Amino acid sequence: MESLSNKKKQLTVKPLNFLERAYLPAIVSGLAITMKHFFKKPVTIQYPEQKREFSENFRGMHSLKRDENGAERCTACGLCALSCPAEAITMQAAERQKGEENLYREEKYAAVYEINMLRCIFCGLCEEACPKEAIYLDGDIVPSDYLRKDFIYGKDKLVEAPLNQ
Amino acid sequence: MELADIAIKFGLIIIIFLISLVIAMYSTYAERKIAAFFQDRVGPNRAGPWGILQPLADGGKMFLKEEIIPTNATPFLFIVGPSLAILTACIGSAVIPWGQNMVIGGKVIPLQVTDINVGILYIFGVVSLGVYGVMIGGWASNNKYSLLGAIRAASQNISYEISMGLSIIALLLVTGTLSLGEIAQQQHGWHWNVLYQPVGFILFLICAFAETNRTPFDLPECETELVGGYHTEYSSMKLGFYLFAEYINMFISSAVMATLYFGGYNYPGMDWVTAHLGPIAGPLIGTAVFFAKIFLFIFFFMWVRWTIPRFRYDQLMDLGWKILIPLAIANIVVTGVVITLLN
């Protein structure tokens, strides 16, 4: 019966000739291929010492930003925690006292701000949700560690370094 | 035999033993490094400069690992297996001529532990004993995968020993002697046996791959089918002995191939060098050349390992029984006819 698509093609398997069955020429050409690779430059990047360049929109470790006067921008509104699909972010708000204006930009600030790096999926939704431009995923790859508790990053690891130091 | 002679022999034995252990150790490193280069990688490079301390780290790890003897295993045979494997691997080096005779203070020192007149037969005996280590270990583990691996090892080694022996017979027709020392001497000055016995050499090479359980004949430890093959249940240094035995076997079979077919310690311009450097340095250069040949063979073993995939079991048996043995017999007949006609 004629096939409907007319794309049917009868294939035949050619029996191997003597040289192909002897297998040795094939082995020799295989050896030549591996030998070519022997002298190629390895493509390995020696990770901790060398790093591959990240793309511009790479999302790495979070950092909490400061404003131009060096005060923390975060006002502990909780939008980042709300937007987080992995529920990795928790925070506790506190009221700014007199004399702390150079430390915190708004009247309310995050006393505790924790991100669980094992839960975080680095989607960047916190970055998009933040009305104060306080959080960015502009850091490096999160380093490895031995204990789960050490992956809960507090403000000590997240907040940007102060300006004039 | 004088006491001094005994001391010299003893020293030679210890040196060869140490050399084969060190070479086996660094074969593991070389294997990983060469594999890496073949795959465009870097390979181990953390322990020491370029990773050269890696074998020591591996050895330390092997010794410190927990030694497990499975409940249902036969404890005595479980220990005998790896011991036998490493023992048979080590004693093969006794008849290999490592260099010309050295003359120190009027005393002739042969660089060969013993030149028995049936050297090749001795090597064959040792090689066929080697399969017992694998067999006993696999059987004593009381594990079906180990047993399957052991059976494969036994049948493979026995099948390929036949064609190996037949390929050697053609060589013996050419050399007329079984002593490895004499065979090495005869090849002085470009009379390398590979030029007279190219087919025999290829047969021997293929069989050597099968006898040492190297890829493409590594079915006894085929991890995709048999977990780990005959050493599935082994841990710690007992596993280490099996792996070590494999590398020592590779070293010894490289040495045998270099001796039988590639002139052993002979190299072009040898007489001139020996005449100018004296009877101590001259033979040592020959030994160095011999080791260079051995290392080339070891490199070839590794090169093939990272090129050719493993055979299927029936292909392995087909190759051994239906192709290699008839080829070897044809080689014997042709060699015999040519020698008769030339005489």
The model's pLDDT over A125-145, given as tens digits with 9 standing for 90+, comes to: 999 999 988 999 988 888 889
Give B85's Cβ-side CA count (13 Å radius). Answer: 32
How close is the nearest chain B Cα to the Cα of A15, in Å? 17
On chain B, the residues whose CB falls within 8 A of the CB of A33 are 307
Per DSSP, chain A holds a count of helices (H) and strands (E) of: 5, 5
Report pLDDT for A118: 92
How close is the nearest chain B Cα to the Cα of A141, in Å? 22
> Does residue A31 belong to the interface with chain B, where contact is any CB pair within 8 Å?
yes
Domains of chain A: 63-158 (3.30.70.3270)
**For A29-48, how does the pLDDT look when each residue is reduced to its tens digit (9 = 90+)?**
989 998 988 888 888 888 88
Tell whether B155 is covered by a domain.
yes
Tell whether B34 is covered by a domain.
no
Tell whether B12 is covered by a domain.
no
Instruction: Say which residue the tokens 């050297």 belong to.
Output: B119
On chain B, the residues whose CB falls within 8 A of the CB of A38 are 34, 37-38
Q: What is the count of structural domains for chain B? A: 1
ipTM confidence: 0.75
Report pLDDT for B1: 60
| Residue B219 Cα distances to A48, B30, B312, angstroms | 38, 22, 8
Binding site annotation covers A123?
yes
Q: Alpha-carbon distance A140 to A118, whole Å?
A: 15
Report pLDDT for B278: 73
Instruction: Say which residue the tokens 């040592």 belong to.
Output: B284
Spatial neighbors of B146 by CB under 8 A, at least 6 apart, are B137, B138, B139, B229, B230, B231, B232, B233
- Whether a cis peptide bond, with omega within 30° of 0, leads into B216 is yes
How close is the nearest chain A Cα to the Cα of B223, in Å? 23
Q: Alpha-carbon distance B99 to B111, whole Å?
A: 5
Tell whether B60 is covered by a domain.
no
pLDDT at A146 exceeding the cut of 90: yes
Burial of B7 (0-12, 13-18, 19+ CB in 10 A): exposed
Task: Out of A27, A33, A44, name the one closest to residue B41 (CB).
Answer: A44
Comparison of pLDDT for A74 and B277, the residue scoring more: A74
Q: Residues 43 to 62 of A: which have CB under 8 A from any B CB? A: 43-44, 46
The DSSP code for B323 is I
Domain holding B142, by residue range, is: 72-342
- Residue A29 is which amino acid? S
Best A44, A45, A46, A50 residue to mutate vs chain B (most B CBs within 10 Å): A44
Report pLDDT for B272: 80
Interface of B with A (CB under 8 A): 34, 36-42, 45, 202, 303-304, 306-308
Distance from the first to the final alpha carbon of chain A: 84
Task: Out of B36, B42, B307, name the one closest to residue A34 (CB).
Answer: B307
Token pair for A95: 């009221």
Instruction: Say which residue the tokens 């040795």 belong to.
Output: A24
Binding site annotation covers A93?
no
| Whether A37 and B38 lie within 8 Å, measured CB to CB | yes
Closest CA to B152 of B226, B204, B207, B79: B226
The answer to whether the beta carbons of residues B274 and B296 sit under 8 Å apart is no
| Whether A37 and B36 lie within 8 Å, measured CB to CB | no
Tell whether B36 is covered by a domain.
no
| Whether A34 and B40 lie within 8 Å, measured CB to CB | no
Q: Alpha-carbon distance A70 to A165, whole Å?
A: 11
Tell me the whole-structure pTM to 2 decimals.
0.81
Instruction: Say which residue the tokens 């037949």 belong to.
Output: B166
pLDDT truncated to tens, each residue of chain B (343 aa)?
A: 678 778 888 888 888 889 888 988 898 899 999 989 988 888 888 888 888 898 899 888 888 988 888 888 888 888 888 898 888 888 888 888 888 777 777 777 777 777 788 888 888 888 888 888 888 888 888 888 888 888 888 888 888 888 888 888 888 888 888 888 888 888 887 778 888 888 889 899 988 888 888 878 887 777 777 777 788 888 888 888 888 888 888 898 899 888 888 887 888 777 787 777 777 777 888 888 889 999 999 999 999 988 888 888 888 888 888 888 998 999 999 998 998 898 8
Tell whether B174 is covered by a domain.
yes
Tell whether B193 is covered by a domain.
yes
Tell whether B40 is covered by a domain.
no
pLDDT at A165 exceeding the cut of 60: no
Task: Out of A30, A35, A43, name the one closest to residue B40 (CB).
Answer: A43
Q: Is B191 helix (H, G, I), strand (E, B) or coil?
A: coil
| Whether B306 and A44 lie within 8 Å, measured CB to CB | no
What stretch of H or E contains A114?
strand A108-116
For the CA atoms of B182, B184, B187, B189, the dihedral, rounded to the nearest 10 degrees, stands at -110
Closest CA to B60 of B15, B18, B23, B25: B25
How close is the nearest chain B Cα to the Cα of A42, in Å? 4
The answer to whether the beta carbons of residues B337 and B72 sit under 8 Å apart is no
Binding site annotation covers A74?
yes
Task: Out of B38, B42, B45, name the one closest to residue A38 (CB).
Answer: B38
Report pLDDT for A164: 65
